[in-house]
Amino acid sequence: MVSEQAVAQVLVASNRGPVTYSLGDDGTLDAKRGGGGLVSGLSAIGDEADALWVCSALGEGDREAVRRGIGEPGVRMLDIDAAVHADAYNGIANSVLWFVHHMLYQTPLEPAFGPEFRAQWASYETYNRAFAEALAESAADGAAVLVQDYHLTLVPGMLRELRPDLRIGHFSHTPWAPVDYFRMLPDDIAEQVLRGMLGADRLGFLTGRWADAFTECCVAVLGGTSGTRVGVHGLGADADFLRERARRADVEERLSALREQIGPDRKVIVRVDRTELSKNIVRGLHAYRLLLEERPEWRGRVVHVAFAYPSRQDLAVYRDYTAEVSRVASAINSAYGTDDWTPVLLHVKDDFARSLAAYRLADVALVNPIRDGMNLVAKEVPVVSDEGCALVLSREAGAFEELGEDAVVVNPYDVSGTGQALHAALTMSSAERAERTKRLAAAATALPPSQWFLDQLHALAP
Ligand code: G6P
């Protein structure tokens, strides 16, 4: 049954929406709008169609906004029971599915799927059903629905049952696990995830590697993909936005401040990440330490600017990892620092303008994830770099498929190899660096977010 609210022609569904509210002590609600590929993608459809973004209320501020009926046009926030959301988001999405796709388990002890997991899984189903019902209620006849990511794997199947008229797509922003790793999930759960996704007309992935891994899982677990189409859309950097944003006054200010902190005549190795287990920040720091240890000529002549922004702090394993990043950075500074040289500048307060300033001045960018769906930092740095920047890139990042040729490529587990790659990147001639940066920027911007989004929409057309 299509209700009166059913007006939207294009719908996006994701756990994290484009806006979030914080609740002030005096009860006021402050809206903060986010960026990213989906935001610019959705804005690209302009007024052509009535669009609606369905997302979760994520904190007290969001929940209060829903209760007060406050919201942005084109956004529908779902106030799902906080305990159900916590189980689905922290318990299943971030501690199980994220871990499986990024191969993060320490397998002698984890995972152990018992009663707690089963209870959390029931919440994950409830949470997915809330999305499916909201989408079914808000979608116009024959509308296109683009469901995002591992939080919502069951939505396509559930929505298909509720509204067979809709065109449903699902896009994975993560890697997809190799089949043997994926099959650590209990058989019935592995089946449910795959069948849920196959409820879509079309599934999108960031690289051919992840799309193939998904197909292999379907063949091994279900015997095939039952006719669902699979496509690859390699999200690129938004060149126009980045180039303009990176030249604004707030970025210039931060550029001067960073230059001052770094000191004159020093090379700069930059990394910018959420403090995320898969980003491999600690091994990156160890590699930098090895560089200083094995090549003393770099002491006093290089600074590692590491921006590691807190993420998923409800999970103990993320809190521990965040502490380890700080500990290792401090240990390097105690071991090698001098009165006028701090080897690692670690910043943990999220500041996009400062990230852009660091991109501009970097001689080397270190992007060494264990696994990563794409990694947009690798694509953004070459676009805004002032003088050219050598990219040290993990072969396990999705971006490797497009950028591998002009990067200094590393195996993310090989700390010695990463240390040597840093040295190679630091000693690359400025002419070569500039040449490579030009080619990296071209490859990185081949599919801007707006086109990435429209391509998916058009591919869903009947
Ligand atoms: C990855 C996921 C996104 C997620 C983001 C931030 O990029 O693919 O779906 O939104 O991480 O993680 P968070 O848990 O803070 O939403």
Angle, CA of 244, 55 and 141, to the nearest 5°:
105
Mutational test site, ligand 1, from 173, 272, 315, 371, max ligand atoms within 8 Å of CB: 173
CA distances 259 to 268, 334, 345, 352, Å, are: 10, 22, 12, 17
Q: Which two tokens stand for residue 287?
A: 């590699």
Question: Average pLDDT of the chain?
Answer: 95
What local confidence, expressed as pLDDT, does residue 49 receive?
Answer: 64
Sheet containing 302-309: which strands, arranged edge to edge? 344-347, 302-309, 267-274, 364-367, 390-394, 408-410
What local confidence, expressed as pLDDT, does residue 3 receive?
Answer: 45
| 276 ligand 1 Cβ < 6 A | no
| 173 ligand 1 Cβ < 6 A | yes
What local confidence, expressed as pLDDT, does residue 35 receive?
Answer: 78
Quick check: do 8-235+451-459 and 239-444 share a fold? Answer: yes
What local confidence, expressed as pLDDT, does residue 423 receive?
Answer: 98
pTM for the complete prediction?
Answer: 0.97
Are the CB atoms for 306 and 274 separated by under 8 Å?
no
Q: Tell me the domain boundaries of the chain.
A: 8-235+451-459, 239-444
What local confidence, expressed as pLDDT, does residue 46 receive?
Answer: 67
| 149 ligand 1 Cβ < 6 A | yes
How many Å lie between the centroid of ligand 1 and the Cα of residue 105?
18
Mutational test site, ligand 1, from 14, 55, 96, 149, max ligand atoms within 8 Å of CB: 149
| 95 ligand 1 Cβ < 6 A | no
What local confidence, expressed as pLDDT, does residue 4 receive?
Answer: 42
| CATH number for the domain running over 239-444 | 3.40.50.2000
Atom of ligand 1 nearest to the CA of 173: 8
Give me the average pLDDT of each 10-residue run along the chain (462 residues). Answer: 66 95 95 84 73 95 96 94 98 98 94 98 98 97 97 98 98 98 98 98 98 98 94 96 97 98 97 97 98 98 97 97 98 98 97 97 98 97 98 98 98 98 98 98 97 95 82
Atom of ligand 1 nearest to the CA of 89: 14
| 20 ligand 1 Cβ < 6 A | no
**133 burial via Cβ count (<10 Å: 0-12, 13-18, 19+):** middle
Instruction: Phi first, then psi: give them for residue 205, nearest 5 degrees.
Output: -135, 165
How many Å lie between the centroid of ligand 1 and the Cα of residue 343?
30
| 289 ligand 1 Cβ < 6 A | no
Q: Which two tokens stand for residue 244?
A: 């303009």
CATH 3.30.70.260 applies to domain 8-235+451-459: no
Q: Which residues pair with 273 in a beta bridge?
A: 308
Instruction: Phi first, then psi: give them for residue 224, nearest 5 degrees.
Output: 165, 180
